[in-house]
Chains A and B, each alone.
Chain A
């Protein structure tokens, strides 16, 4: 009897999980179905639930309509430069906070933590004025430099560097290595999991960033991918061209999804490391 009850529980768990998975994945599936039909078929009754054959036609239409190449280029440049900048800055700061005793660190570390309470939106108007004065509006500078400090990154690397045995640094010092050599040759090679985890976090974050680009960018050649989504979605207010909108949506959501899939393992491990205090 007991075995039987266990089996039923397990089947029940599978059933619930599969059902939930279908519900959660359905919007994506249906969006994909839409992207593969003609405008007419998208409005057919009964609704089409199986993919059609117009995917590439719709993609090329969406591609031309919002100048997709420019959007993808800009978003890629921004997401990659911010990710690498944040990773570098965080590693340096975390190294300082874990391997050195220095005056003011009691003040500087909380200062770095406070940044997560000042998300960009609470300082958006002064920041806009500042960018205007610097002449940075409509440039990559405005979309990258203000993002470079990362609380998440500093915590992630600090958490990890605290677990690295002190003997490693002592041995390196005795062998005559400078701190920077130790960081580059010993600590960094140990940090790749965290680097990959942070790359996923920051790439996804920057790719999906919308409020600030929407304010700092007005020139059409500087627009980012999320702004393209708005253009696709709001261009047609009569009967929405869902097939074109969804084809564009799929292109735009692909890059962060690929990054997540590529580094999924490191991402999960990095998260697990961050939650263990």
Chain B
């Protein structure tokens, strides 16, 4: 039995097949909590941040959060932390479902995978037995095929499988790691690192739940939180009914719904592709919940042709929809299903096709390059489906798409077409109409990302209070607090959506009761600040220049052409210096010695 304030790590050397157990110090757990924080600390201590991300010298860490596997609401998440091949920054990608909790039940808080196997293998941790097994039979198989096959191999359909699809094997730079077929550690190309190690899957099954905490005391806190989450308009009503796709119309009506590769801020055909349309067209079959989740925002969907799967979520529906100018919800959902089956990050996949469409329409890509593929024209349903498959298998022009929009646009001599930060494609909010979100994109430690500090919540949704999206004053402070709190939520293994309803005090109560800590809210947020700074140090050591804390030229210089924010640009230059000050960094964006000492990072 493992207490939550103690930790056990499994170290797996894929090169020589050695497997060892190591204890994790209590001090580290108190300082970094678990998950994203603890794994980032271990990665920073163990690898040279300058390593080639796809070389055997990189390490891949599967980490459960501090509260993963407990009764904490949504406490089932795990993170994959490594150096990312798309960005060259630290990468940490987070997934729900049930794999994380099952991993925790095995008694291991974290698995660190090193080196590279000679031939395809999978790691099996079943009923206390840890083994590396031959995966030759499933190399080349899709995510659902691999999942079904490995559950049969271990003889237990309750075994949880986290694996890569063909995209990870082919080292597509934005390949995902998928668990239970449809849940994704999606962003930053963690799947490509797994593929580079010849590791197809991790399979976990525990015959007893090796997690020890005061269950009675925790359930009292959880009951209170469940009531809050159920009664909240967002987590109790909006998300269960419409999922994340409730946002299509909200973001479009606010004029920040990036359309045709961020060339416009509103999409005329939004009614055809929105969350409401998913329900009205009859594609939505049922809601789906992850481990210990009272929200149930997942979407089980079925197309008229009988194809079924999960999604689309808001970001996925947008990247293949408005961003590609496509108004065909059937094709968008099909492209999403394919990403899940082939193991691709939906945001980068769709946004890279959108960039390619702009490059094609502006004559930077010749038709001959597409070989037998359809023309890359905005609005083409055929193109989004065809090139999703082509990029996963690196077939034809798909081989160039598999490198992501930044490398593609640079290669074609028109970098402006890549709507990315630190080479990772931006998600579905145009920062010209939400200034704080722009600052968050520019300073995210894993490249362009919305879930490192979701400023849409205060700037658009009005939660916990409504901020004027064009106001600059106070935004650096908000961004910092959101980034720090997010680092905490990721590290304790809960879902970020709980923060629509829960407060920092609520997370503190959970952590203290479950792990026996006595942290104040300030100390908990300081852990988030520490994690954020540690990730920053990794990136600086990796050679990421702070001048990359920026946004694509289009967003800084070209005013939004339409909608309520028509005429606005992202005013990052006015926000960034104050953000650096707020973070305790010097004017070059480097953490000061005082700040590092304060956070015990020196």
| A and B part of one assembly | no
